[in-house]
Amino acid sequence: MKISGAEAVIRCLLAEGVDLVYGYPGGAIMPVYDELYKFQDQLHHVLVRHEQGAAHAAQGFARATGKVGVAIATSGPGATNLVTGIADAQIDSTPMVCITGQVGKHLLGSDAFQETDIIGISTPVTKWNYQITEADEIPEIMAKAFYIARSGRPGPVLVDITKNAQFDTLDFSYKKCTDIRSYHPKPVLKINKVQEAAEIINNAKKPMIIFGQGIILSQAEAELKALIEKSGIPAAWTILGLSALPTEHELNVGMVGMHGNYGPNILTNECDVLIALGMRFDDRVTGNLATYAKQAKVIHFEIDPAEIDKNVKTEVAVLADLKEALTALLPLIEKNSHEEWHNEFKKKYEIELDAVINEELAPTNGKGISMGETIEMINKHSKGDAIMVSDVGQHQMFTCRYSKFNQTKSNVTSGGLGTMGFALPAAIGAKMGRPDREVVAIIGDGGFQMNIQELGTIYQTKVPVKIVVLNNEFLGMVRQWQELFFDYRYASTVMVNPNFCAIAEGYYIKARKVTKREELDEAIAEMMASKDSYFLEVMVEKENNVFPMIPTGASVSDIRLS
Amino acid sequence: MEENKTFTISVYSENNVGLLNRISGIFLKRHINILSLNVSESEIENVSRFVIVVDTTEKWVQNIVGQIEKQIEVIKAFYHVDEETIFLESALFKIASNLLFDERQIQNIIKESHSEIVTVSRDFFVISKSGRRSEIEELHAKLKPFGIMQFVRSGRISVSKEKMEVTSLLLEELKS
């Protein structure tokens, strides 16, 4: 039976188990939208207010569910508006398929209306991309797109479809892609490497684990927990690894990196064995590489061969899917407790508690509400069961430092790219993907205004996300750097803000503003109890800083507490 | 700091329109100038071979080869230093025909350089020379005083002395 290319696109999505897509229509993608209309009982399309919102919503969906997120846009500006989200998904290894319309094949290269070379533009920021110019290519390319997006180290794929290919007909049959001869997403685990790693770990006196998103992507949370409990090795996390291990776990020693915890940063340079699990030694994690963990034997468990020895030289590299590798490692690990070594982390935590945390979570200095105490108050009401979606800046660091998590896939944030404007649309995607969970977006007054239009999507879809804007009337993180490194010259970081509650109310979203500490508890209780979406603006102390901090280019041992 | 060296990167890949863009982007991101680039068929049917010459450190070339191999359509990538490869470049020189008769030493230059005359017409003749860069440069220097109408030199082509395991990789794939 012959069907149109556009219908084939929908049938491919259904065959891949997709029931939710985010997008925005336009000329070159209209045939696909016409089919979306016909298939609306099987495939739900969420109309966003800007294509960037579609990309971030698809990311939020993917991060909260582990499934592939899908975003659809038209050619030209529709496609280019997706690019920030695609770049974000690429650097944070998020599985996503973007479908863009393109001018007809006969017009390609002619500077036609809304023509842009989205393949050229998206090449550096996609795991794979392809331009379909004939209808009969659709099933095979769509199958490849989903396979590539989700397999190995996941990432974004863009499929650009010319208008003629959407209109033309084809004999449709769909076969899922399971193999591409030039692509080896899952390296074959070398057991001798696991044995070498186990021997070093068993002989270690002061071992330390740093885990990243690889644990979450390979669903190795249980194996990670079993490993640290058997070996007694303290485990720290990168920002994208957060929530893979419950925050309250005895051996969870906190975050590494620029605004991470004091202990794991300092002790990175004192451990004798550093076990990196599904993380990539980003510069925000390592600080100055020349002085990073030089004393330690580094063991790197990683699925992507290009990450091995890229930044940090390894003693043993175990190239494999994390779940498979940890399953093989576990029986080889000797039971241990490393109590004395673990105490070092506790001692360092006491120092951080005194110097930073206590004051942040319960300010005594007469200053206004802090971001940390707001997060702590959300913890009190969420009991650690919410999905926290943060934007980028100071509030993001406070969210990651102080949120409590009981479950995995609960910390959704723009890590690698640091995309302001990420959280509002990502929270929409996360909530739609996990309607059973509470989703709280934590956003600064700057980032909120970068995709504020998605309030419209929230109103139209009635998706019950909770939005907290921590308003310090500054671009806070940049201001902090200006204070510390640019002698208080606040160049373009002062924000004169509108009435945010009135804007939220303009979208018929219940809104409340908190200016006094005494109101915070009750306001958050009200927000969390709300069945509908809810907007909460919290006026926070204007010039608070995030500490600890490793200044750019400094060593992890030079972490500052103030 | 590690010192820069000349590396020849060999990439076996599917024959794909966008791949050259993807690969060149990896060099662009790191500000590495590609000294020469050649794309051709390889010994394996429907598999393309890129030969890319760069001047960089071993650490960077390792990283780059890793990032090239990561591209979906790349089957395998290798890197070698000059001593590990047999390589050459080709050049064409277009010269006015009258010089062949007016300037007798040109004939000797051609003979001594082991180059060959590809074509001779009333107005011009064309010399082809294959070999090391230095040999081509030497010939260029010798011919220059007489006037060269056009000159072009190809990218490096090279084969490695050691075996590059690509065929077996693909055969295994086909079997499984």
**What residues in chain B have their Cβ under 8 A from chain A's Cβ atoms?**
13-14, 18, 21-22, 25, 29, 62-63, 66-67, 69-70, 72-75, 170, 173-174
User: Which of A444, A441, A446, A450 minimizes the C-alpha distance to A509?
Assistant: A441
What average pLDDT does this structure show over A200-217? 98
Helix (H) or strand (E) run with residue A358 in it: helix A358-361
Q: How confident is the model at residue B101, as a pLDDT?
A: 86
B99 Cβ contact list (under 8 Å, min separation 6): B106, B146, B147
* Residue contact A129–B73, C-beta within 8 A: no
Q: Is A477 a catalytic residue?
A: yes
CB neighbours of residue B4 within 10 Å? 13
Domains and CATH numbers, chain B: 5-86+157-175 (3.30.70.260), 88-153 (3.30.70.1150)
A493-503 residue pLDDT tens: 999 999 999 99
pTM of the predicted model as reported, rounded to 2 decimal places: 0.95
Which residues of chain B neighbour A312 with C-beta distances below 8 Å? Answer: none
Cβ within 8 Å, pair B62-A309: yes
Return the number of other C-beta atoms located less than 10 Å from residue A114's C-beta. 16
Of A235, A196, A161, residue with least CA distance to A7:
A161
Distances (CA, A) of A463 to A223, A438, A439: 34, 11, 10
Q: What is the pLDDT of residue B167?
A: 67
Judge whether A191 and A328 are in contact, CB under 8 Å.
yes
Cα distance between residue A363 and residue A487, in whole Å: 25
Which residues on B lie below 8 Å from A183 (Cβ)? 72-73
Q: Is A163 an active-site residue?
A: yes
- Report the pLDDT value the prediction gives residue B176, as an integer from 0 to 100: 47
Contact between A349 and A545 (Cβ < 8 Å): no
Tell me how close the Cα of A538 comes to any Cα of chain B, in angstroms: 41
pLDDT the model gives residue A297: 98
Burial of A218 (0-12, 13-18, 19+ CB in 10 A): buried
In chain B, which residues have pLDDT < 50? 176
Facing residues of A44 across strands? A20
Name the residue type at position A285: V
Q: Tens digit of pLDDT for each residue in A313-367?
A: 999 999 999 999 999 999 999 999 999 999 999 999 999 999 999 999 999 988 9
Look at residue A388 and tell me whether its pLDDT is greater than 70: yes
Residue in B with minimal Cα distance to A117:
B18
A364 or A207, greater pLDDT: A207
Instruction: Test A182 with B63 for CB contact under 8 angstroms.
Output: no
Q: Which residues does chain A have within 8 Å of residue B61's beta carbon, measured at their own beta carbons?
A: none
Helices (H), B13-162: 19-29, 58-69, 98-102, 105-112, 133-143
Residue A182 to residue B69, Cβ atoms within 8 A: no
A-chain residue closest to B72, CA distance:
A183
Select the more confidently predicted residue: A451 or B172.
A451
What's the pLDDT tens digit per position in A72-90? 999 999 999 999 999 999 9
- For the four alpha carbons of A393, A398, A401 and A407, in that order, the dihedral sign comes to negative
Complex-level ipTM: 0.89
Residue B157 host element (H or E): strand B157-160
pLDDT band for position A560 (cuts 50, 70, 90): very high
Mean pLDDT of A156-185: 97
**Inter-chain touch A181–B22, beta carbons under 8 Å:** no
Question: What is the set of domains in chain A, with CATH numbers?
Answer: 2-171 (3.40.50.970), 191-345 (3.40.50.1220), 368-539 (3.40.50.970)
Q: Report whether A455 contacts A505 (CB < 8 A).
A: no
Residue of chain A whose Cα is closest to the Cα of B59: A310
Distance between A360 CA and the closest CA of chain B, angstroms? 40
Contacts of A181 in chain B (CB under 8 A): 75, 170, 173-174
With an 8 Å Cβ cutoff, are A181 and B173 in contact?
yes
Average pLDDT for residues A111-123, to the nearest whole number?
Answer: 97
Q: How far is CA A529 from the centre of its chain?
A: 26
Q: What is the CA radius of gyration of chain A?
A: 24
**Alpha carbons A523 and A537: distance in angstroms, whole number:** 10
- How far B127 CA sits from the closest chain A CA (Å)? 38
Angstrom distance (rounded) from CA A261 to CA A157: 35
Of B25, B63, B72, the CB nearest to A148: B72
A211 given a catalytic annotation: no
- A124 → closest Cβ in B25, B63, B72: B25
Among the listed residues A389, A425, A66, the one whose alpha carbon sits nearest the alpha carbon of residue A213:
A66
pLDDT for the residue B1? 65
pLDDT in tens, A541-553: 999 999 999 999 9
Distance from the Cα of A161 to chain B's closest Cα (Å) equals 15
Measured between beta carbons, the chain B residues lying within 8 angstroms of A148 are 72
Structure tokens at A360: 């942040």
User: pLDDT digits over A286-295, tens only?
Assistant: 999 999 999 9
**Which residues of B fall within a CB distance of 8 Å from A123?**
18, 21-22, 25
Convert the pLDDT of each residue in A402-434 to its tens digit. 999 999 999 999 999 999 999 999 999 999 999
CA distances from A402 to A63, A326, A388, A478 (A): 20, 28, 11, 21
For residue B173, the model assigns a pLDDT of 55
Give me the catalytic one of A144, A163, A193, A466.
Answer: A163
Mean pLDDT of A467-472: 98
Q: With an 8 Å Cβ cutoff, are B72 and A128 in contact?
A: yes
Helix (H, G, I), strand (E, B) or coil at B78: strand
- Interface contact flag, B69 A148, Cβ < 8 Å: no
Tell me, rounded to whole angstroms, the distance of Cα A307 from its chain centroid. Answer: 19
Q: A304: which chain B residues are within 8 Å (Cβ-Cβ)?
A: 70
Q: What is the mean pLDDT of chain A?
A: 98
pLDDT surpasses 60 at A144? yes
% residues pLDDT > 90 (chain A): 99
Residue among A120, A179, A180 minimizing CB distance to B72: A180
Cis peptide before A363 (omega within 30 of 0): no
- For CA atoms A349, A354, A355, A360, the dihedral sign is positive
For A183, which residue in chain B has the nearest alpha carbon? Answer: B72
Judge: B18–A305 Cβ closer than 8 Å, yes or no: no
- Burial (0-12, 13-18, 19+ Cβ within 10 Å), B144: exposed
Summarised one tens digit per residue, pLDDT across range A8-54 is 999 999 999 999 999 999 999 999 999 999 999 999 999 999 999 99
> For B29, which residue in chain A has the nearest alpha carbon?
A124
Task: Report how far residue B77's alpha carbon sits from residue B51's, in angstroms, rounded to the nearest whole number.
Answer: 10
Distance (Å) of CA B147 to CA A379, B93, B102, B141, B151? 81, 10, 13, 10, 11
Q: Which chain B residue shows the shortest CA-CA distance from A304?
A: B70
Under 8 Å CB pairs connecting chains A and B tally to: 42
Give the C-alpha separation, A113 to A132, whole Å.
19
Query: Which residue, A239, A481, A310, is CA-closest to B61?
Result: A310
